[in-house]
Structure 1
């Protein structure tokens, strides 16, 4: 292998000699911790609010939502589906707006809008009104997840992104755990101002989100070049360390050609399929876990509290797997392993007659599902090059993933409680599909890396200036598998 290709393959460990040998030494680990502390807490908290405000409907349901708004069980399922429709339709447009504006403007603005909509959910009086606000909640929340995945790819080297995205996604596990406790506490406000406890769940959480969104305008930063918490040397250092690793430092303007490149790349659609096959079990379990636990014979109060442990376990496994995936620089084996664990959990759920064992099944599902999801959503951020192409790929992946959730919300009908043969059975099928899709993408990227190692793609540079970078089509680029 040529020296140039060896360097390309080992980008993640390439030092930045201009700074490490200079008089003003910069501690890279210390600088990364500084960046982490300025970026991640605010982003994690925003996603915590997002997940809390989308999944609290499950807590509200067992506190009288359907009865007070005169909804049938099937109509309730429709309100869950409509959220995903709004979410899917606006993810790519939202990331395009992010590219054309800035993270500091767009991410807090999205938070403000969905906080207002969440508050309005607590004031709805009937099925039609609740259906409308759920749709607009999906629209407003659509841009945060794919937006942050793209945003982090502009700050960190490729092998560093998964751990940070896992930390970001861990907010979902914390929101799931805290949501059960908060639902339990806010339900005690039943009768205050003549309102039901389920209404206060939406109103209090929505108002809190609005307040936090205002603060977010001051705590969300844009990109390294204009980050005020960094010195000029630190900015230069971050630029230097990213230069040979990704396209984050390139002055790329938005172009529709980048959008088209993403849509035409088969690997981008494979990333989307990987998340699609994980999106069904991931979202349906998050939405229905209080209902599933109630169906096992527990009271609504017990179900609120029992929904906490599965998310606590998920947080631990997500962060543990993230550490090992970063150290080993592997992605596919950990996804397949997590999906296999979740598969075992669903088999327990669908086959067990004992409530205690079925409850253990929910813990096993979350323990495997959340670590796999964290890696899947970080995969295109690691491997797709071209800023507009990557922003489009991340949004497309999550959009396609959520299409599965639209169907999933219709497969947990009350008449199938408590074992939900159709819903859990589909989850098992989807997880098998996930293992196949991830294995296929793993094989495709591994073979492409081998072709580039052998120089079979070098002709792409024949008529191109040596300083021109061709994105992930460049023969010097290596995919992380």
Structure 2
């Protein structure tokens, strides 16, 4: 059995002159690695975070599966109507980042997230009752507004518990919910397509109801299982809560005090890293958005049936999980984040070429291309981890996470619009776009590494915290928010 942390009361005498907890409260070894403490935190919060991210992705990809289950015929859609369903969702997703960010500033993260999960579950159930394109697009807009909270909320929540070195594999864990969503979504679609054809309540409607109900149940777990913050984590002793807070201060991590500062917003908007992360997210997400929305129809166009398309889409989830797990595992052991992104984008680029330029008669090659493109999912997890690690203070973390999430939604607007009805069934312009943006993403990731490296080198030379020039001018007004000691030791991770 794992060693447990000794639970003794903490008082002012336990804290040394340097602000660190004394070793008397912990067994030797626990003070250094805290593995038992981290395991307790992991088992409490990570399964719920994984479930939440898994379900929101199933919500998104359910439209992909509904497309081959007769949704367009049932709702009398034509032309680019289906592309606009995906576009409307992500337009709403982008616009809602601002109000959702404000809610995350003012209220506990778990409460904001839990209420949103409950509401989007209800909306998804209502989607089963849609009778026309107008009704469905209205519901997709509402769904996009609610799901906009997911990435900023989980990014912020992870930063509340783990140091920057520890956070990357945890980001990877809950982000694997995306790959699991691809696998389970395919099974749900396959099962729903076996409903009797003479039923008025068609298979895609059954699928929406099932997924919606599960989301409603999951919202209860978010609201009542996840602690609002470290201080309110009743499953930990006071000594353990103090230890987590101290570890985050020593690492220059965490979110600091929950204080909103306009100066920090200006720092984030004026920081070159923000816009490089935004551009990188857009370039990486365009292929991901295309695969999320159109992979089933692309597979069907290779000559497979709707049921076969649902099952053949499932290996994409396996690729997503494998790429995310391997990359975050490597980073936890010292592999560079920027290099991991570039390595992951190489099979994405090769898969894009296979999918784009092989003849459709080469079914195996085209399928392999679609599967390889799914390695683009893993870099998105690394970008979320970068954002959580390299933005300091509560306001900057919320702003940075919201910018990246907005970029994610913008890319998902662009992706579906590259698939125009006039280009069917080959969609050559869309496939060429996927190839081009992947090549661009490799360049931007490398540039970001150079920016971080230069800032760290300048900080080493001057003996100051690593930061942008604008942040240096405004830093004095943010020190209270950061709630960190020895800020001079902060360095960007890359």
Q: TM-score of the superposition, structure 1-length normalised?
A: 0.91
Instruction: Number of aligned residue pairs: give it.
Output: 464
Is 1:392–2:399 an aligned residue pair?
yes
SS of 1:189's partner is coil
| 1:456 Cα offset (Å) | 6.3
RMSD of equivalent CA atoms: 2.5
C-alpha spacing 1:256/1:159, structure 2 compared with 1 (3 Å): same
Is 1:364–2:372 an aligned residue pair?
yes
Is 1:306–2:304 an aligned residue pair?
no
| 1:418 Cα offset (Å) | 4.3
SS of 2:417's partner is coil
Q: Residues of 1 paired with 2:455 and 2:42: CA distance? A: 33
* Match of residue 265 from structure 1: 271
State the 4+ residue runs in structure 1 displaced beyond 6 angstroms: 458-461, 467-473
For residue 240 of structure 1, the aligned residue among 242, 246, 266 is 246
Q: Residues of 2 paired with 1:384 and 1:88: CA distance? A: 20
Quick check: 1:96–1:392 contact (8 Å CA) kept in 2? no
Quick check: 2:256–2:482 contact (8 Å CA) kept in 1? no
Q: Residues of 1 paired with 2:19 and 2:433: CA distance? A: 49
Quick check: 1:95–1:391 contact (8 Å CA) kept in 2? yes
| 1:189 Cα offset (Å) | 2.5
Question: Deviation string for 1:400-459 (max 9, x for gaps)?
Answer: 232122121112234434442111111111111111111111101101101111116479
Q: Residues of 2 paired with 1:52 and 1:137: CA distance? A: 12
For residue 355 of structure 2, the aligned residue among 323, 344, 349 is 349
| 1:249 Cα offset (Å) | 6.5
Matches within 5 A, 1:32-431: 32-190=38-196, 194-248=200-254, 250-328=256-334, 330-353=336-359, 354-366=362-374, 368-431=375-438
Q: Residues of 1 paired with 2:480 and 2:217: CA distance? A: 46
| 1:187 Cα offset (Å) | 2.1
| 1:261 Cα offset (Å) | 2.2
Quick check: 1:55–1:286 contact (8 Å CA) kept in 2? yes
SS of 1:315's partner is helix
Quick check: 2:45–2:226 contact (8 Å CA) kept in 1? yes
Quick check: 1:273–1:401 contact (8 Å CA) kept in 2? no
| 1:193 Cα offset (Å) | 5.9
Where does structure 2 lack aligned partners over 5 or more consecutive residues?
1-17
Q: Residues of 1 paired with 2:365 and 2:337: CA distance? A: 31
Q: Residues of 2 paired with 1:291 and 1:381: CA distance? A: 35
| 1:188 Cα offset (Å) | 1.9
C-alpha spacing 1:455/1:358, structure 2 compared with 1 (3 Å): same
Question: Deviation string for 1:272-316 (max 9, x for gaps)?
Answer: 111111111112111111111101111101000000112112212
Q: TM-score of the superposition, structure 2-length normalised?
A: 0.89
Question: Deviation string for 1:58-82 (max 9, x for gaps)?
Answer: 1111110000110014111111100
